[in-house]
Amino acid sequence: MSILKSKFIVLGFLLPLFVYLSLYTWNWRTGYLDRFAANTGLEIVGWILAPGKWLHAQAELSWKRYVALTGVREENEQLRRELERLKLRAMRLESRAEEAERLRRLLRFSPPPDWSCHGARIIGHKLGPNALLQTLLINKGKRNRISKHMPVLTSKGLVGRVLKVSPHFSSLLLLTDPNNHVPVLAQETRTKGILQGRGPGSSLAMKYVGQNAPLHTGETLVTSGMGNVFPKGLPVARITSIEHSSLYLFQKVTAEPLVDFNYLEEVLLLQRMEAPPADEATTAPEAQ
């Protein structure tokens, strides 16, 4: 009886636990299962959400059309038709103009030297029970040369970085997430620090700023280029308050992001341009 019981414990509990911990540790070292889940699960989610977003946009347009048309019912039939046509056209043009304006603002952004830009649309945000971090889903993936840790921004400022990539979709880690640390420096006083998110709707915290470091409210924080993830000089946030306390070694600095994350529709992704291989660069002039 006791042998049966111990067999049951081994097979029913210890063996699955051992298998699970082995898988977890192996994945922690290799990241293989994470990549597999991104290539399958994230792809499925992306393909399910992308058509829905399109349908949503179409439904919104139809609703706007309907609302706009209710006001001209009493008009003459011919004039009404004409008005409908013109209104629909105006609405389409207005929508396109708004989109064009947004895209123009994005295009006006000139990437830093040695970096190139990719545009992407946002198709979803954090979803599922494992979505612990503040993330967004975009419609670009490995096939579009998107890779992990690529900086993400709009014409207003930094949004975050790429967290996970599948063939056609990627998820972004937002600046507001507490796990996102961005090395920054103040644009005027050149004081350095690390900017950390404090969750959605909360301000950002600039850490490790010494008590005597010069800094003032309203100053813009830009990326410092340290850490080799973000290029130097991208606007990130604006300082909202500075507190000095004799109890702490550092100043307590809070800042607000320059980007409003609630109204994001399109983003830009920065890709580091690959430098030509060293031997190619050196042998080319010789060959000439």
Partner 1 sequence: MHQTLIEALWWALYTVVGIWLQTLLPGIDCLAPGLIVCLQARRLTIAFWLAVLWILIQEGSGSLAFGASILWYAGLVIFFYGLSLFLTVKSAFFGLFLSLFAGLWHFSIIFLLANLQELSINFNELLVQSLQTIIVFPVLWGIVSLIYHLRIAPGHVTA
**Residue 173 C-beta-side C-alpha neighbours within 13 Å:** 20
Q: Cα-flanking dihedrals φ and ψ of residue 83, to 5°?
A: -65, -45
Report if residue 194 touches partner 1, rule: CB under 8 A.
Answer: no
Minimum distance from CB of 129 to partner 1 (Å)? 4
Taking CB under 8 A as the criterion, the residue among 146, 150, 158, 173 binding partner 1 is 173
Helix 77-108 to helix 43-70 angle (10° resolution) is: 140
Which tokens go with 70?
Answer: 């209710």
By CB under 8 A, is residue 179 in contact with partner 1?
yes
Residue type, 11: L
Least distance (Å) from partner 1 to the CB of residue 195?
14
Q: Which of residues 66-95 bind partner 1 (CB under 8 A)?
A: none
239 binds partner 1 (CB under 8 A): no
59 binds partner 1 (CB under 8 A): no
In one letter, which amino acid is 84?
A: E
Q: How far apart are CA 9 and CA 251, in angstroms?
A: 55
Question: Does 50 interact with partner 1 (rule: CB under 8 A)?
Answer: no
Surface-to-core class of residue 192, CB atoms within 10 Å of its CB (0-12 exposed, 13-18 middle, 19+ buried): middle
Give the side-chain half-sphere CA count within 13 A for 107.
6
124 binds partner 1 (CB under 8 A): yes
Q: Judged by CB under 8 A, does residue 126 bind partner 1? A: yes
Q: Which is nearer to partner 1, 41 or 233 (CB)?
A: 41
Q: Which is nearer to partner 1, 37 or 72 (CB)?
A: 37
Cα 148 to Cα 152: distance, rounded to the nearest angstrom: 11
Binding residues vs partner 1 (CB under 8 A): 16, 20, 23-24, 27-28, 33-34, 36-45, 48-49, 52, 124-133, 135, 137, 163-164, 166, 171, 173, 178-179, 199
